[in-house]
Amino acid sequence: MSSSDDDDLRPATRLVQGGRRPEWTGDPRLGGSIVNPPVWRASTILYDTVADLKARGHATHDKLYYGRRGTPTVWALADALTALEPGAEGTLLYPSGVAANSAGLLALLSPGDHLLMVDSAYEPTRAFCNGMLARMGVRTSFYDPLVGAGIAELIEPETRLIFLESPGSLTFEVQDIPAITAIARERGVLTMLDNTWATPLLFPALAHGVDVTMMSLTKYAGGHSDAMMGSLTATKAVWPRLRQAAYQLGQAVSPDDCALMLRGLRTLDVRMARHGENGLAVANWLAGRAAVGRVLHPALPGDRGHALWTRDFKGTSGLFGFTLKGADDAARTRFVDALAHFGIGFSWGGYESLVVPADPAAIRTATRWTDPDPLVRLSIGLEDPADLIADLERGLAAL
Ligand SMILES: *Cc1c(COP(=O)(O)O)cnc(C)c1O
């Protein structure tokens, strides 16, 4: 049952079958196989003879070599993620989304290079550019997420990489990814996308011309707020550089966490559909409230990213923002504190709803966030949306 190799399988089927190779789920001597790849914990791998040890000295992806290079539990998760992304050669796993982003940037950039980074990027991604990359002699220019084909004018002779995040996970601008990747390919510049919001289910990134796609598996892939991990999935052309860098950086993920991630992945399709549906119910309700300024949700027809979202995305996840019209920070705090069914906390993509106040104005440099109304971000979980709406109504009353 290694049907994840079949080209014609649809994503929901791939989620169910991914990583369940016979050699990872059973042993002919045991007379059968089990459904899930078991947790193989290892540092040392033992060989029968010196000849065996020497023969395996240059082992690659799916032969046991040393714990850091993974065990079948780790390979099963990487395999399942690769099977989900059409056009992918392989997937590397990192202990967090931030680690995956940093490793991807380190793998693809050298001193003297120039990086184009989207101004709406996740804040720690920006911090890595302004910190470690700057120290290494890599120059970063931040660009307007709505630049579209205008990216052509920003490419310099030293530009090696364009980094995208769409929709921006705080402000929800949708980028014209096909326009940007087409120009990047023409100019010999690589592209890397933080695809945590959409996952390959809603936006198959490589099929849209992206070279490397990153996910914080901590969010929707894991889906249960109990494990952290990040992934990089790449085309054949870029894969060797990423793998080389991964071996040198030496970051290893826990097989136990991989088993949790695999468990989350099996239900990603049904969870995403429900997160999206519940999120839209809440967003539509908010859009009709007098106390609400703007709802930042690309699936709403009035949203500035709606046309691009409709053209490129297969659905919506449950993360979006909205502003409180004419409110100040104290009123926003009263609103958030009054909610009973939303956890106050960072992260998102778990089964439980979360709320967080957000202040994008202080983070940006290439563009300005001019909306004076305070912003709130919601991660809509799997509760009944009617209960969430009743809760938000109580919150608005506390304004
Ligand atoms: C959370 C997040 C990350 C970082 O992931 P961690 O697993 O928390 O390190 C990266 N990008 C986006 C868009 C995120 O929301």
- Domains of the chain by residue range: 3-266, 268-397
Rounded distance from Cα 96 to ligand 1 centre (Å) = 7
pLDDT the model gives residue 6? 61
- Three-state SS string over 281-316 comes to HHHHHHHCCCCEEEEECCCCCCCCCHHHHHHHCCCC
Rounded distance from Cα 321 to ligand 1 centre (Å) = 17
**Contact partners, residue 352, CB within 8 Å, separation at least 6:** 225, 343, 381, 382, 383
For 11-73, give the DSSP string: HHHHHHHTT--HHHHEEGGGTEE-SSPP----S----SSHHHHHHTTT--TTS---GGG--HH
In CATH terms, are 3-266 and 268-397 the same topology? no
Q: Which of 93, 94, 96, 98 to mutate to test the pocket of ligand 1 (most atoms within 8 A of CB)?
A: 98
The Cα–Cα gap between 335 and 392 comes to: 8
Rounded distance from Cα 301 to ligand 1 centre (Å) = 27
pLDDT the model gives residue 8? 84
The Cα–Cα gap between 197 and 164 comes to: 12
The Cα–Cα gap between 299 and 155 comes to: 31
Q: Which residues pair with 292 in a beta bridge?
A: 324
- Name the stretches of the chain with pLDDT < 50: 1-4
Which residue reads 């002699």 in tokens? 137
Which residue reads 């056009």 in tokens? 87
pLDDT tens profile 241-261: 999 999 999 999 999 999 999
The Cα–Cα gap between 396 and 271 comes to: 28
Indicate if ligand 1 lies below 6 Å from the C-beta of 220: no
Which of 172, 142, 127, 131 is CA-nearest to residue 358? 172
Rounded distance from Cα 349 to ligand 1 centre (Å) = 10
pLDDT the model gives residue 3? 41
Which of 183, 190, 178 is CA-nearest to residue 152? 183
Q: Is 325 a catalytic residue?
A: no
CB neighbourhood size of 101 (10 A): 26
Of all protein residues, whose CA lies closest to atom 8 belonging to ligand 1? 97
Q: Which atom of ligand 1 is nearest to the CA of 165?
A: 13
The Cα–Cα gap between 168 and 304 comes to: 13
- Does domain 268-397 correspond to CATH entry 3.40.50.300? no
Q: What's 3-266's CATH class?
A: alpha beta
pLDDT the model gives residue 58? 63
Indicate if ligand 1 lies below 6 Å from the C-beta of 192: no
Degrees (nearest 5) of the Cα angle 50, 56, 58?
A: 130
Indicate if ligand 1 lies below 6 Å from the C-beta of 122: yes
Listed in order, strand segments (DSSP E) in 82-175 are 90-94, 114-118, 139-143, 159-165
List the catalytic residue out of 122, 211, 271, 377: 122
